[in-house]
Amino acid sequence: MTRLLYFSLIVSSSAFGQYQSDTSTFRIFLSPESCQTEPKHEHVYEEEIDEQRGVRIITANGIPQHKTGAFPNQGNPNTIQPHKVTYEIPLHPTPADDFISAQGIRMGVLFSGVELDPFTGEFFRGSGGTNYKWNITTLTSTVDLGLDCNNGHVQPNGKYHYHGTPSAYLDEIQADGSEMIKVGYAADGYPIYYKWGYNESGEITAYESGYRLKEGERPGDGKAAPDGEYDGTYFQDYEYVEGTSELDPCNGRFGKTLESDNEYYYVITDNFPSTPICFKGGPSEDFKNGPLTVVGMNGRQNTSGPPPRMPRGGDRPDPKELMKMMDTNGDGKIERSEARGPLQNDFDRVDQNKDGFLTLEELKPPGR
């Protein structure tokens, strides 16, 4: 059995109910009832077709029509605000020579007007500094990033976005498994569906990804890189295992859809990674946050530049934004009582001189 890429999966989950694996830290919320907050801003989602240029033009503002969780919350100190964005994606997408990692790129936008953003701006940080090769997953119980029932939360600029199955949205459109449900478009132009699709016999079936947790322990020392068992805290704890799923490493497949007898489409699954983490085709520039990483089927990566240290689409704020949000007494430092979200858990590690305060210099990643 060939193992591909440098990520992997967990165990499957049942429909609509919170799932927590007993053997990993994978966590996904599948109970729409836990979202009780009505949007305070007007929802925008519009599409325009430009046949001459061969593009689909989508305008959205990140404000859903469905309910969300309460923001700010303990793990996410941000408030949902509208951000009107216009995207141009290929009307007739074509496959690239190889899969393209979605790290540093927003995956796509759903008809709810909300983006899919699979990766985070959170990385391993030890006494040896921040290691950007180990990206913390959002769908993990080890770090509280304030996710709501849509497996979504809010960036420091106020943009609400999904990291996994958008439960309240699916409940709103009555996705019940009786038919394929098209929910949006990826940045490369291919359609996105929720987990149900036609199998080879023409029957509707629920698909799961082919990712699995790696076996054994991480190779790090706990200082410069993480140690301990592969438990799902990092994307690098997973790997795609060929032959375990009809979905490829990008959570996609060719098959019958609502609009074609055979086309490529992505699937949002209820198991890791839930939101697709790579592209079949070349993504639109309108979704990019950093350089492209091409992930070959042999697991090697070819990058058009250094890995993004802090993708703009990620979830960790700029150090100055952190200081502005949390320095409530205005003394230019963050006290332990002022720290919120993931910084609460990382306080002692970030506090390099152990004086009980975090300065702007301590908040900056190494090399900045």
pLDDT at 22 over 70: no
Q: Binning pLDDT at 50, 70 and 90, where does residue 296 land?
A: very low
The whole-number average pLDDT for the span 345-364 is: 85
The whole-number average pLDDT for the span 24-36 is: 95
The whole-number average pLDDT for the span 155-166 is: 95
pTM: 0.77
What pLDDT, in 10s, does the model give residues 309-322? 333 334 545 677 67
Based on the domain organization, do 39 and 187 belong to the same domain? yes
Task: Give percent above pLDDT 70 in the chain.
Answer: 83
165: left (phi over 0), alpha (psi -120 to 50) or beta: beta
Based on the domain organization, do 326 and 276 belong to the same domain? no
pLDDT at 360 over 90: no
Task: Give percent above pLDDT 90 in the chain.
Answer: 69
What pLDDT, in 10s, does the model give residues 76-122? 999 999 999 999 999 999 999 999 999 989 999 999 999 999 999 89
Q: Which of 57, 43, 27, 234 shows the shortest CA–CA distance to 149?
A: 27
301, 316, 331: which is the final residue of a domain? 316
Based on the domain organization, do 338 and 281 belong to the same domain? no
- What integer pLDDT is reported at residue 364 of this predicted model? 76
Based on the domain organization, do 29 and 151 belong to the same domain? yes
- What integer pLDDT is reported at residue 346 of this predicted model? 76
Say which CATH number the domain at 335 has.
1.10.238.10
Q: Binning pLDDT at 50, 70 and 90, where does residue 290 land?
A: very low
- What integer pLDDT is reported at residue 8 of this predicted model? 32
The whole-number average pLDDT for the span 153-170 is: 96
277, 300, 316: which is the final residue of a domain? 316
The whole-number average pLDDT for the span 218-230 is: 96
Cα-Cα end-to-end distance for the chain:
43
Q: Binning pLDDT at 50, 70 and 90, where does residue 343 land?
A: confident
What is the distance between the alpha carbons of residues 358 and 26, in angstroms, rounded to a whole number? 30
pLDDT at 277 over 90: yes
pLDDT at 136 over 60: yes
CA dihedral 329, 330, 334, 339 (to 10 degrees): 50
Based on the domain organization, do 354 and 225 belong to the same domain? no
What's CA 87's distance to the chain center, in Å?
A: 19
CA dihedral 321, 322, 326, 330 (to 10 degrees): -60
What is the distance between the alpha carbons of residues 212 and 209, in angstroms, rounded to a whole number? 9
Give the residue with greater pLDDT, 54 vs 13: 54
Q: Which of 134, 137, 97 shows the shortest CA–CA distance to 118?
A: 137
* CB neighbour list of residue 176: distance below 8 Å, 6 or more residues apart: none
Written as six digits, the tokens of 15 are 């429909």
Which residues, listed in sequence order, are joined to residue 266 by a DSSP beta bridge?
A: 192, 252
Based on the domain organization, do 190 and 142 belong to the same domain? yes
Based on the domain organization, do 311 and 172 belong to the same domain? yes
The 3 state secondary structure assigned to the chain is CCEECCCCCCCCCCCCCCEECCCCCEEECCCHHHCCECCCCCCCEEEEEECCCCEEEEEECCCCCCCECCCCECCECCCCCCCCEEEEEECCCCEEEEEEECCCECCEEECCCCEECCCCCCEEEECCEEEEEEEECCCECCCCCCCCCCCEEECCCCCEEECCCCHHHHHHCCCCCCCCCEEEEECCCCEEEECEEECCCCCEEECCCCEEECCCECCCCCCCCCCCECCCCEHHHEEEECCCCCCCCCCEEEECCCCCCCEEEEEECCCCCCCCCEEEECCCHHHECCCCEEECCCCCEEECCCCCCCCCCCCCCCHHHHHHHHCCCCCCCEECCCCCCHHHHHHHHHCCCCCCEECHHHHCCCCC
Say whether the peptide bond before residue 72 is cis (omega within 30 degrees of 0): yes
- What integer pLDDT is reported at residue 297 of this predicted model? 33
Q: What is the domain count for the chain? A: 2
- What integer pLDDT is reported at residue 314 of this predicted model? 40
Based on the domain organization, do 287 and 361 belong to the same domain? no
Domain carrying residue 275: 3-316
pLDDT at 232 over 60: yes
Written as six digits, the tokens of 133 are 């090769």
Q: Are 305 and 291 in contact (CB under 8 A)?
A: yes
Based on the domain organization, do 171 and 199 belong to the same domain? yes
Based on the domain organization, do 96 and 211 belong to the same domain? yes
**Mean pLDDT, rounded, of the chain:** 85
Based on the domain organization, do 225 and 352 belong to the same domain? no
Q: Binning pLDDT at 50, 70 and 90, where does residue 53 land?
A: very high
pLDDT at 14 over 90: no
276, 291, 316: which is the final residue of a domain? 316
- What integer pLDDT is reported at residue 365 of this predicted model? 59
Based on the domain organization, do 181 and 81 belong to the same domain? yes
